[in-house]
Amino acid sequence: MHRALLLLLVLAACTNSATPPADATKQAEVASTAVGSLPALPGRLVFLAEDPQTERSGAIVAMLPDGSERKELLRGPGLYPAAVEQNGAALAVIAVDEQNGGHSEVLKILPWTASGLGKPIWESPPSSHVRNPSWGPGGRFIVFEADLDSFRDLYRLDLPAPEPGHGDATAAAKLLRLTDNPEGNFEPAVSADGERVAFVSSRDGNAEVYRMKSDGSDQTRLTNFPLDDWGPLWAPDGQTIAFLSNREQIDRIFLTGQDGGDQRRLTADQNPAQEPDAPLGDEPHETDPAFAPDGTHLAYCVRIGSQGVSLRVAPIAGGAPIALSDGRFADRNPVWSPDGAALVFVSNREGGELELFRVARDGTGLARLTDRPGADWLPRWSPR
């Protein structure tokens, strides 16, 4: 089953009174912090700010990590911030057009400077599915999933640096098809050194995690289980891959070496289907894994009950996770600050509307960053 959906993070704007299992995590004490007293953090946040009255309309917005200096970068219907280049020099945007009953998607690569977003460096041909872009180091290339020539395959776009005074490198950009399987290839993730790409393929009957070189060669299967494995994510050192799997009849995060060896669950607690306070069909599935910049911890989310989602941080080496939230609300989509000191996440915890919140990695200093009509979500953190 293919689970790569761009709009995975659409959450129900509602609350839930369920509580997390008492013995599954070490609960951190969360103290409310005023935005004005937040410690300074590097970089900028970019996110989607939806208009409250007009369906599918909104703006891509940037702001400082304390919620100040908010600036609109791009406005229009169907725009989604997909991936920030590692140095913050460019932004990949997905533009969705659903006029007159049709549906098309375009990947746009836009330069990002202090003055805002420039004209697109490159745009993909319109297609029904163009998603999951993942940057190579230094913005040299980007790998994405699309149905340009097939049901679903992976493509690499090489983006040479524009000459001084010339912002448009479209003519020099080179598009390379990396995979060719009728069953489909999905969810590419480029390693930090740019040498390898982890991805999902259904070529052997069900969704499994594969690895290949970034030129498409040496395609190697890493997982082999009757159920589905998906959502691969490289650790910063390139030695470990995190992925999601339902091999235990529930969605859990697993870790594996770069060659597929030493596969293990991130958390070593009992089977969550046996945890207390989990109604039938509402077992606490894990989702949204995000490696800390130093690679020692992984932030992730656990569904508690039918609507609550708890934000947690677990050590990669093993040990009890820390619960940064208790699962009474839907806390999702964590992103790390470049220095690893804090996370920003999406929550409906105040008034039901989706807003951005910030919390230190130990669970202290919780603060609301956005407060306006309309949902604020899909946060990405740029280092500058």
Question: Above pLDDT 90, what percent of the chain?
Answer: 74
Q: Among 63-67, 194-198, 223-227, where is mean pLDDT lowest?
A: 223-227
Per-residue CA distances from 366 to 29, 39, 342 (Å) = 10, 12, 10
- Smallest CA-to-CA distance from 332 within 352, 312, 361, 316 is with 312
Backbone angles phi, psi at 304, to 5 degrees: -115, 115
Counting other chains too, the contacts that 56-59 makes at CB distance below 8 Å and 24 or more residues apart are: 56/96, 56/98, 58/374
321 Cβ contact partners less than 8 Å away, ≥ 6 residues apart: 24, 25, 26, 267, 312, 313, 314, 315
Please give, one letter per residue, the 3-state secondary structure of 159-193: CCCCCCCCCCCHHHCEEEECCCCCCCEEEEEECCC
pLDDT band at 268 (very low <50, low <70, confident <90, very high): confident
The amino acid at 208 = E
The answer to whether 166 and 153 have CB atoms below 8 angstroms apart is no
Task: Collapse the DSSP code of 36 into the 3-class scheme (helix H, G, I; strand E, B; otherwise coil) and give the result.
Answer: helix
End-to-end CA gap in the chain: 38
Q: Which domains does the chain have, with CATH numbers?
A: 26-382 (2.120.10.30)
Q: How far is residue 172 from each of residues 148, 163, 338, measured CA to CA in Å? A: 20, 11, 31
CA–CA distances in Å: residue 382 to residues 120, 284, 289, 328, 379 = 18, 31, 18, 30, 10
Tell me, what DSSP letter sits at residue 260?
Answer: S
Per-residue pLDDT at 34: 61
Q: Which of 19-28, 44-53, 276-285, 317-326 has the lowest mean pLDDT?
A: 19-28
Cα separation, 175 vs 159, whole angstroms: 9
Task: Tell the burial category of 153 from Cβ atoms under 10 Å away from its Cβ (0-12, 13-18, 19+).
Answer: buried
Assess contact for 178 and 164: CB atoms under 8 A.
no
Strands 322-323 and 26-27 turn out to be parallel
Q: What is the pLDDT of residue 305?
A: 76
Prediction pTM value: 0.87
Task: Inform me whether the pLDDT recorded for 17 exceeds 50.
Answer: no
Q: Rounded mean pLDDT of 283-305? A: 92
Q: How many other CB atoms sit within 10 Å of the CB of residue 87?
A: 14
Average pLDDT rounded to a whole number, residues 268-282: 48
pLDDT of residue 269: 59
CA distance 121 to 110: 6
Coil, helix or strand for 61?
Answer: strand
What are the two backbone dihedrals, phi and then psi, of residue 254, each rounded to the nearest 5 degrees?
-120, 160
The mean pLDDT value for 257-280 works out to 69
**Residue of 347, 342, 352 whose CA lies nearest to 373:** 352
Model confidence pLDDT, tens digit, residues 117-138: 999 999 999 999 999 999 999 9
CB 28 within 8 A of CB 362: yes
User: pLDDT tens, 312-339?
Assistant: 999 999 999 999 999 999 999 999 999 9
Which of 12-16, 24-28, 276-280, 340-344 is most confident?
340-344
- CA-to-CA distance for 215 and 218, rounded, in angstroms? 9
Structure tokens at 339: 């220095």
Residue type, 311: L
- How do beta strands 240-245 and 252-257 pair? antiparallel
99 phi/psi in degrees, rounded to 5? -85, 150
Mean pLDDT of the chain: 86
